[in-house]
Chains A and B, each alone.
Chain A
Amino acid sequence: MALDSDAQRDFKIVGTRVTRPDGVDKVTGKARYGADISAPGMLHGRILRSPHAHARILSIDTTGAMALKGVKAIVTSADLSRPEDNFFADIGDNCLANEKALYDGHAVAAVAATDKATAKAALRLIKVDYEVLPHVTDVDAAMAPDAPVVHEGRADETVAEGYSQNVTSHFEFGHGDLEAGFAKADKIIERSFKTAATHQGYIEPHACLASLGADGRGELWCCTQGQFNVRTMCAELLGIQASQLRVTASEIGGGFGGKTTVFIEPVALALSRKAGKPVKITMSRDEVFRATGPTISSSMDVKIGMTSDGRITAGKANLRYQGGAYPNGTVEFGAQSAFAAYDLAAVQTLGWNVMTNRPKEAAYRAPGAPVAIYAIESVVDELCQNFGLDPLDVRIKNAARKGTLSSYGPTFNDIGLVATLEAAKAHPHYSAPLGVNQGRGLSCGFWFNFGGNTSVSLHLNSDGTIGVVEGNPDIGGSRASISMMAAEELGISYDKVRTVITDTNSIGFNDVTDGSRVTFAVGLATIKAARAAIKEMCSRVAKIWGIDEEAVIWEDGAAKPSGPNAGDFDPMTLADIAAVADNTGGPIAGHHEGNADGAGVSFGVHLVDLEVDPETGMTTVLRYTVFQDAGKAVHPDYVEGQMQGGAVQGIGWALNEEYIYGEDGRLQNPGFLDYRVPVASDLPPIETVILEIPNPGHPYGVRGVGETPIVPPLAAISNAVSRATGVRMAELPMSPPRILKATSAKV
């Protein structure tokens, strides 16, 4: 649906900072998250996990555990369906291992018992006979022809001969003559980079309460970004019909992409079916780290050529991503987005997806993009340093604009990159003085965003207030934004609208809350639903007044005659129309179902100043500014919130967060003490500058904003550290020991 021709109109509500509807519940502790629910007769479920990185499961003996008083059911993979489709089969296998345990923490069996202590004791009585196999956790090692193989026969037609079977797919993007391009360069820099896996780090562990009867009717409460997706996966794995499984999304304590799939839900359903009682499962933090979905870890080679006056003549990148123990697909997004910010005559990115004995990756904001862009932006920065050129000027000189042939294929429309770069250049941060051991870094960032399947229903209550029903969990304040758009469209005050998120039986299908899609797609559907309701109301009023429907307009929350020629009638407000709804045809509602496209890509630029202590290698972030093209910012507080939150996740990714595996293939740091996310005292204020370049694909110009902010921090921080220390950094995270190692090597 295109941008309204009057999108430059004076929005009355969109763009203001209203109070969110779930605020009181959340500040008083009333809001119910995944683990905050119980049911009568409820059992507690716990999962037994493999202590081996790779092992054949020879047998599982549950008799001892089953005999323990209070144990009501035990399940293994035999209790789940084995779908034909690899996509679902892999998910099922990840929930409960079938033939092999594929990573440290892989679920092998689960128990439901009358209390937590009994469930825990029962796990110890389950006897699993493992045949330990060689394992591999490093991406490059996993690609070698002699590497231990995680799954056989899963490589697709794009993988050349000679690689290990762990290499499952290969992608290539780009255009132009690389050789000619590099020949034009005055300097070519080639660098290799490595990044460690990170976790979304949501503070709320996965939790669910499942109740599945022998008749195939089920209720599932869980914290998820997508209850419809959960239903699809669980229905497939439990062999039940979608309409029989009602999934309700609780309030969610963070997701960021990590709660877009299932881990414990099919297990809880299977236990419930077997025990004939509701079963609650909550994951411990240890389990979250070991057995949910971290990001890939990567090994990358980048080669970029630049002229002495700052023109990039050619760029090439080779990206190798490991996505854990099942075939995954994020390298293609890294490969497409790597050079997206640039107008290049010659560019090529090659990518490989690789399996290892690590947990199955899940999305984490802009999946695949952050590390690829980190590598490219690092080399661009090094080239700027080499020539003594201003890094912002070089970005502006080479920036993709409308009409640029992108590195991933299409030609760009109106995009906001140059505007964000110019805003950064004009900002006082860019010219602030720097002290000793301090450095300034910057990076561009990019993400695709998408729209997706959305169903919204909007109805008029008898007192003239409005209810909006949608199916997308609120992870960033979207309920407020949806209500705002409904209120704006209807011309009423925000407090007259209540938006609720409903279960899978109560509204049509909705894609997961991801892809920065909700404000865009659910907003768009809400606007359409509102317009449909308005049309119906105008039609009714026209009948009441005895005039043509075309002669009735909607303005400021009321139906009015379009002009003096239409007749002299007093406006009819929502309340007036509701009062006579029964007489005029019955209840009034509007709805919209669609698969939205046209979400629009988004660009961002981040600036950071930091100081590195030469004795300890400790980095202190001193100043951070986020510039992002947000289309139309419906609720500026929440747009700022996304920019700040994503930036800080990226700061953690750059400086401290990493999955550390031992020689034994086991995760060494599955807890917040040693998996070090940023805390309040690590950070300065995060300043935000929102640019509003309207997205032509949305009636209000809304653009997705949530994912892009995680992309620039990795290189921005790395570039700043490199400049502060005088040593070019090429590995993430840049923890103090790594910085000390790099700086002492230079001496």
Chain B
Amino acid sequence: MKNLHISTTVNGDEKEFICGSDETLLDVLRDRLDLTGAKEGCGTGDCGACSVTLNGRLVCSCLVLGAEADGAEIETIEGMAVGDNLHVLQRVFIEKAALQCGVCTPGILVATRALLERNPDPSDTEIRYWLAGNLCRCTGYDKIVKAVQIAAAEMRSA
């Protein structure tokens, strides 16, 4: 299996790595770049726990090859806070108990930020359908949707 030399940008930082041509972006993030925020919940794009953005597009990193990161801009959960300032979504999720075990939370935060960038004033239905690809087994989604609404409102008034 051929190894490839990849140059990319992750959360604004330039990164280089070697990976196999069959490695996924998720594998690369976790095993080569020590960014373990994205999780492997299924490996088949069904659970969304590995969500990141690739050139601004929300993707399941388990369905993207590491090689596809070449020359691209990747944003992961680790880039969401700036220094010690949490993103509004991160802060509100904590305040409103929108997480229990927290394993789906990175994926949901990345997905939600992508939603609010496109649609700053989503309805509950729009939030629910946008997050349909992010499974949560602990919360029943109720507090997540409410937290997104609160964060969105705060972001709109900023």
Contacts and interface: CB of A to CB of B under 8 A. Distances in A.
Contacts of A282: 40
Contacts of B132: 679-681
Interface in A104-148: 117
A27 B86 contact: yes
A27 B42 contact: no
A645 B139 contact: yes
Contacts of A17: 97
A219 to B, nearest CB: 19
Given A28-B81, A681-B128, A648 B140 contact: yes
Contact of A252 (B42, B101, B124): B101
B45 to A, nearest CB: 9
B43 A284 contact: yes
A205 B90 contact: no
A253 B102 contact: yes
B129 A681 contact: yes
A12 interface: no
A17 B99 CA distance: 14
Contacts of B90: 24, 27-28
A469 interface: no
A29 B106 contact: yes
A203 B143 contact: no
B140 A647 contact: yes
Nearest to A29: B37
A204 B44 contact: no
A645 B138 contact: yes
A403 interface: no
A35 interface: yes
A700 interface: no
A649 interface: yes
A28 B97 contact: no
B144 A29 contact: no
A374 to B, nearest CB: 19
A117 B1 contact: yes
Contacts of A31: 102
B94 A24 contact: yes
Contacts, number: 180
A254 B20 contact: no
A28 B77 CA distance: 6
A686 B94 contact: no
B95 A33 contact: no
A686 B136 CA distance: 14
Contact of A203 (B30, B39, B127): B39
B137 A26 contact: no
Interface string B29-71: 0100001111111111011010000000000000000000000
Given A23-B99, A33-B39, A679-B135, A644 B142 contact: yes
A671 B42 contact: yes
Contact of A686 (B76, B103, B142): B142
A667 B3 CA distance: 35
Interface residues of B, number: 59
A204 B43 contact: no
A671 B86 contact: no
B137 A202 contact: yes
B41 A648 contact: no
Contact of A680 (B37, B41, B100, B134): B134
B75 to A, nearest CB: 12
Interface in A461-520: 475-477
Contacts of B106: 27, 29
Contact of A29 (B36, B96, B137): B36
Interface in A388-421: none
Interface string A401-443: 0000000000000000000000000000000000000000000
A661 interface: no
B134 to A, nearest CB: 7
Contacts of A32: 36
A473 B65 CA distance: 35
A641 interface: yes
Given A285-B44, A672-B44, A672-B47, A476 B138 contact: yes
B100 to A, nearest CB: 5
A393 to B, nearest CB: 29
Contact of A205 (B40, B81, B86, B101): B40
A673 B46 CA distance: 6
Contacts of B144: 680
A679 B132 CA distance: 5
B40 A476 contact: no
Nearest to A31: B102
B63 to A, nearest CB: 13
A278 to B, nearest CB: 15
B150 interface: no
B143 A251 contact: no
B97 A637 contact: yes
B105 interface: yes
Contacts of B28: none
Contacts of A321: none
Nearest to B93: A27
B109 interface: yes
Given A27-B90, A28-B80, A253 B97 contact: no
B131 interface: yes
A673 B137 CA distance: 15
B24 to A, nearest CB: 11
Interface in A664-695: 671-673, 677-681, 683, 685-686
B131 to A, nearest CB: 4
A326 interface: no
Given A26-B105, A27-B109, A254 B138 contact: yes
A640 B143 CA distance: 9
B40 A256 contact: no
A18 to B, nearest CB: 10
Interface string A275-297: 00000001011000000000000
B99 A26 contact: yes
Contacts of A476: 100-101, 138
A672 B46 CA distance: 6
A33 B139 contact: no
Given A477-B100, A680-B144, A256 B137 contact: yes
Contacts of A685: 124, 142, 145-146
Interface in A6-39: 17, 19-20, 22-24, 26-33, 35-36
Interface in A175-231: 200-205
B29 to A, nearest CB: 10
B78 interface: yes
A195 B78 CA distance: 42
A644 to B, nearest CB: 4
Interface in B9-27: 20
A204 B127 contact: no
Contacts of B78: 28-29
Q: Most A CB atoms within 10 A — which of B90, B97, B103, B140?
A: B140
B94 A20 contact: yes
Contact of A645 (B129, B135, B137): B137
Given A256-B137, A285-B42, A649-B137, A680 B127 contact: yes
Interface of A: 17, 19-20, 22-24, 26-33, 35-36, 117, 200-205, 251-256, 282, 284-285, 475-477, 637-638, 640-641, 644-645, 647-649, 671-673, 677-681, 683, 685-686
11 contacts: A28-B80, A202-B137, A204-B103, A205-B41, A254-B137, A285-B47, A641-B143, A645-B140, A679-B133, A679-B134, A683-B142
Given A29-B38, A203-B49, 17 more contacts: A17-B97, A22-B102, A23-B93, A24-B86, A27-B109, A29-B106, A202-B103, A203-B41, A204-B101, A640-B97, A641-B138, A644-B139, A644-B142, A679-B131, A680-B127, A681-B132, A685-B146
Ranked 4 nearest A-B pairs via Cβ: A29-B37, A253-B103, A26-B102, A648-B140
